Copies of this chain bind each other. A is one copy, B any other.
Amino acid sequence: MTNNHPTIRDVARLAGVSHQTVSRVLNDVEKVNPETREKVEAAIAELGYRPSAIARSMALGETRTLACISPNLTDFTFASIIEGAEQEARNQGYFLLSSSSGDPDTFSDLIDELIGHRRVDGLIVINPYADNRYEFTPNDFPVVFVGAYSRDTSISSVSLDDEHVAYEAVQHLISLGHQQIAMITGPLEEDCTQDRIKGYTRALESAGLEIDPSMIIEGDWSATSGQNGLQTLIEQNRIPTAIFAQNDRMAMGVTKAARDFKLAVPEDLSVIGVDDMPLSSYFDPPLSTMKQDMPGIGREATQILIDMVSKTGRPIRQLKISGELVVRQSTAAVRKE
């Protein structure tokens, strides 16, 4: 980079004022004589002057940049959160640096680069409990967790109300008359998975249905794991009339397995997921699901983070967002036999 950008002093010289006056015009704080302002603005325009963000950061001690660390950038759920966060950040005059970190090692490297070297003012961590990465977040620095709420109330977080979402999904199946309702979960070590299991359990219990542990199959959020899940159930000869998959991808895998085993969806098997992925409605059959407002979650998280960064009080907030039932054609009333 050639470095012949005009500086604030170049502007000052051309306008015949001190560089400080230029700074005042730029930040239009403190009164400045209208005539002087005009001269300065003319000089700015003539030189095409733009203040250096770096120098500003240097003087102010803030970078006006936030970071978001996500397990990856391509998962639609994560990408939607990031997109919402990025929009909100920019609306508030911040930039968002998003990085993916597959494992705890690169995560702690990132923390060092971003926070240790003071490259950003605040941090959003998506899916903090997928591994033990939450242990690596510094606690004297503004951080918001997204995707699972923290049991530790000293940490800000925004998450889906996982228990409630699962409850509603299962409730939907129950209302259709289903009594054998299986579930494909996410990885059992994730809080999100556990909360959805709670919602499932609560829904069954409040309908007076028994919980059959063999109807609960662990998956890993991937379509393949959903496919394997149904296969496992079938091999064990435990065929439910409905399946609650803890996300849409696994629901799609379940549907594929059902096709392979000549089980008709929804006639033989109702399937419901969580997320409302973009192509859910193009699936065969179009997938019933619990829609979540991921960009909204990203925006909320950013809002809270900026509050923490700018206000000295560091207001800790924990937000839970609700989902919304979307009934398509993958769920139907149980067939009376």
Chain B residue nearest to A98 in the complex (CB): B98
Q: Which of B54, B253, B259 contacts A118 (CB 8 A)?
A: B54
| Interface contact A117-B86, CB-CB below 8 Å | no
Interface string of A250-267 (1 = CB under 8 A from B): 001101100100000000
Q: How many monomers of this protein are in the complex?
A: 2
Q: Which residues of chain A from 103 to 153 have any CB-CB distance to chain B below 8 Å in the complex?
A: 112-113, 116-119, 121, 142
| Interface contact B55-A58, CB-CB below 8 Å | yes
**A83/B74 contact (C-beta < 8 A), A58-B58, A279-B223 known:** yes
List, in ascending order, chain B residues with CB within 8 A of A79's CB. Answer: 73-74, 79
* Bound: A98/B55 CA distance, A: 22
* Bound: A252/B83 CA distance, A: 24
List, in ascending order, chain B residues with CB within 8 A of A63's CB. Answer: 54
List, in ascending order, chain B residues with CB within 8 A of A57's CB. Answer: 54
The reply on A249 being an interface residue by CB < 8 A is yes
| Interface contact A52-B118, CB-CB below 8 Å | yes
Residues of A within 8 A of B (CB): 1, 3, 5, 50-55, 57-58, 61-63, 65, 72-74, 76, 79-80, 82-83, 86-87, 90, 95-100, 112-113, 116-119, 121, 142, 223, 227, 249, 252-253, 255-256, 259, 278-279, 282-284, 309
